[in-house]
Amino acid sequence: MNTNIAVKDKPRKNALVLFIHKLGSPPWFYDFTGKFIPWLWLIFVGLAAWALYLGLVRGPADYLQGESVRIIYLHVPAAWASLLIYASMAVMAFIALVWRIRIVEILAMCSAPIGAAFTIVTLTAGSLWGRPTWGTYWVWDARLTSELVLLFLYLGVIGLYNAIDEPRKAARAACLLAIVGAVNLPIIHYSVKWWNTLHQGSSVSLLGGSSIDASILWPMLIMAFAVKFYYLANLLTRARVRLLEQDLRKGWVKDVVREQRP
């Protein structure tokens, strides 16, 4: 008798599929992500400190912009993060609406305040860079206005999510708004090409290289890499807290709290 036939016929799950299934379980997600968060913060702090040292201490002033160029080590990575976070929020919102995965819903909703924070940093740092460089804090040009619209979209998602008492209904409504709002992302990106703007065109391109000197480019790229770790660490921290709040009466949450020191 060949017993291997039965073993072969049994459907086997791919390791990645199993991992995704596990991530859908709130206790497992809470426990698993808790191990990574301190490391993510540590990497962020290390990379950000390195980027700031290269940019603010070692880096030269720009021949045209002078010392104000140092603001771009904050402004550009924050601007890229504001777009990337919105894009990831919209993708997660789509997954949450189609497959109704609660943790993905939570992750999408927890992305909104972080994205809003980066958009505020982008707008304020850009405005403070604009005053010495352009001679004005603000102009209603396409890039600045579309970035401001992005902030309103983030605030809209946060407001809609908090306006409805039932968390899953609230998440579904806010996810829909997040998906609709994604139309603003190409507008922000291409605004400097489609319209005549005071804001300069892209200086860094994934395929076309960069027109920025390496002494300025590298601190900016390192900082852009660092903020991804900030986003991940902050997102997972927020998602874990949201899970505790939503599963308040469940056994696993009580076990987690019992294990913690009072």
Residues 148-167 that bind other proteins (CB under 8 A): none
Helices 214-246 and 102-134, interaxial angle, to 10°?
140
Q: Where are the beta strands (DSSP E) in the chain?
A: 204-205, 209-210
107 binds other proteins (CB under 8 A): no
131 binds other proteins (CB under 8 A): yes
Residues 50-79 that bind other proteins (CB under 8 A): 66-68, 70-71, 74-75, 78
Calculate the CA dihedral of residues 206, 211, 217, 222 and round it to 10 degrees.
Answer: -10
Instruction: State CA 108 to chain mean position distance.
Output: 10
Stretch that binds other proteins, among 116-124, 150-158, 180-188, 210-218 (CB under 8 A): 116-124
Residue carrying structure tokens 């070692």: 58
Q: Give the span between the Cα atoms of 114 and 89, in whole angstroms.
A: 11
The sign of the torsion formed by the CA atoms of 112, 114, 117, 123 equals: negative
144 binds other proteins (CB under 8 A): no
Q: Give the span between the Cα atoms of 163 and 158, in whole angstroms.
A: 9
Stretch that binds other proteins, among 13-21, 168-176, 210-218, 228-236 (CB under 8 A): 228-236
Residues 240-259 that bind other proteins (CB under 8 A): 240-241, 244-245, 248-249, 253-254, 257-258
Q: How far is the CB of 246 from other proteins (least distance, A)?
A: 10
Residue carrying structure tokens 């109704």: 100
Q: How far is the CB of 8 from other proteins (least distance, A)?
A: 47
Q: Which residues bind other proteins (CB under 8 A)?
A: 66-68, 70-71, 74-75, 78, 113-114, 117, 120-121, 124-125, 128-129, 131-132, 230, 233-234, 237-238, 240-241, 244-245, 248-249, 253-254, 257-258, 260, 262
